[in-house]
Amino acid sequence: MPHGHDTHDSSVMSADAPDPPRALSNSKGRRLDPRPLLAAAEDRLDFGRLAGLAGRSLVHPAELDRDLVVDLCLAGALLESIDVRDLRPLDGRIAITAFFEASTRTRLSFESAVQRLDGKVLSVPDGRVTGAAKGESLADIGEMFNSYGDLLIMRHPETESVDEIRESLTMPLINAGNGSGQHPTQALVDWFAILKWRPELALPEPPAGARIHLGVVGTPGSMRAVKSFVWLATMFPAAVRRITIVSELADPIGLDLRAALDRCPIPVEVTNDLQEVLGDLDVVYMNSIAFLGDSYKRLNSRHRIAASTPMREDTVVMHPLARGDELDPDLDGTPHNLYFAQAAGAVFVRQALLTAVMGRIGVVADAVS
């Protein structure tokens, strides 16, 4: 496995380090080099464990564990560090992207990931062009999809949609967001960014003093990206010392996430005052969009971060995007901005997942062995 330089400052490139094979893609904010993560993890990437994902669906973050999350992030860092074009990992395999709900980053990053791996895409960018517009059930649509591709990536406004389409689906399903349910690959994208920012957090026992305080500005009970992010956080008790949820609601967590938090040793607190806790936060994860019923709503609108907001110098701000007024554009050019690098890494960690689920991770393993 290729190793990188040993600095943990993700915003600084070593003068004598070789250039990565492709340009760092975000133009503003903090940039994340994947090589320090590979170096910190040494030889911990377990291709055999990733091979176990072959043929499996990913619908809920509970289907992952800490080791799988770290392996997927390490594989994403590896794919970001090498030129995969000649490897042709997917070798013509077909992914169907069926988006019955609006998407920019998720759909395009998945489609880019597939095509960069020499796979092919059948794209449904708008559910209104499918038989659903005529009243066709998702179960029947899934039956048709079985004949057309090797894997389905689906977003749908109904939380129950993943269960309905799996009644007939015989190929793996990757959930790209189901109503107010879950968004597991967004959480992978988020943790990929965190581990590239602080590579030592990928270790089973991070160094003393390395543990981070996560601040989550949002309502996990109704915001699927926030919910999935916190769910994965519960898998990293050695890396996360505290989770603080900032919300206008008295109980913003929701029953299913509450159960996961209750099983986790990480202390969790809820407050409605961001300024009260901001000075102790290492990461501020923001979101304001919740999908409620049949439309988008903006919550927590009084919480806003700008370049003038008093924060520690090393605090980073994350956001699944699209943003609203909660995140001022004047923050974009500051080192606090991790959200563009977060989005830029989506292609690579999704490549890692796709190669594993399609049973092709061995091609990557053979190339770097």
**3-state DSSP assignment of residue 256:** helix
Tokens of 142: 């899934």
Task: Tell me the sheet residues that pair with 305.
Answer: 327
- Predicted pLDDT of residue 17: 41
One-letter amino acid of 142: G
- Predicted pLDDT of residue 297: 61
- Predicted pLDDT of residue 295: 55
Q: What is the DSSP string of 11-58?
A: T---TTSPPPSS-----SS----SHHHHHHHTT---HHHHHTTTT--B
- Predicted pLDDT of residue 18: 45
Task: Tell me the sheet residues that pair with 295.
Answer: 292
Does the bond joining 322 to the residue before it have cis omega, within 30 degrees of 0?
yes
Domains and CATH numbers, the chain: 35-182+346-368 (3.40.50.1370), 184-344 (3.40.50.1370)
- Predicted pLDDT of residue 14: 35
One-letter amino acid of 354: L
Please name the residue that has the structure tokens 């923001």. Answer: 286
Q: What does residue 118 show for φ and ψ, rounded to 5 degrees?
A: 70, 30
pTM assigned to the model: 0.90
- Predicted pLDDT of residue 294: 56
- Predicted pLDDT of residue 27: 86
- Predicted pLDDT of residue 91: 94
Q: How far apart are CA 148 and CA 276, in angstroms?
A: 53
- Predicted pLDDT of residue 1: 41
Among the listed residues 105, 98, 75, 236, the one whose alpha carbon sits nearest the alpha carbon of residue 156: 98
Q: What is the pLDDT along the chain (369 residues), one digit of tens a residue?
A: 433 333 344 443 333 444 544 554 788 999 999 999 999 987 789 999 999 999 999 999 999 999 999 999 999 999 999 988 889 999 999 999 999 988 888 999 999 999 999 999 999 988 777 777 677 899 999 999 999 999 999 999 999 999 999 999 999 999 999 998 999 999 999 999 999 999 999 999 999 899 999 999 988 888 899 999 999 999 999 999 999 999 887 788 988 899 999 999 999 999 999 999 999 999 999 986 655 555 556 655 578 899 999 999 999 999 998 888 889 999 999 999 999 999 999 999 999 999 999 999 999 999 998
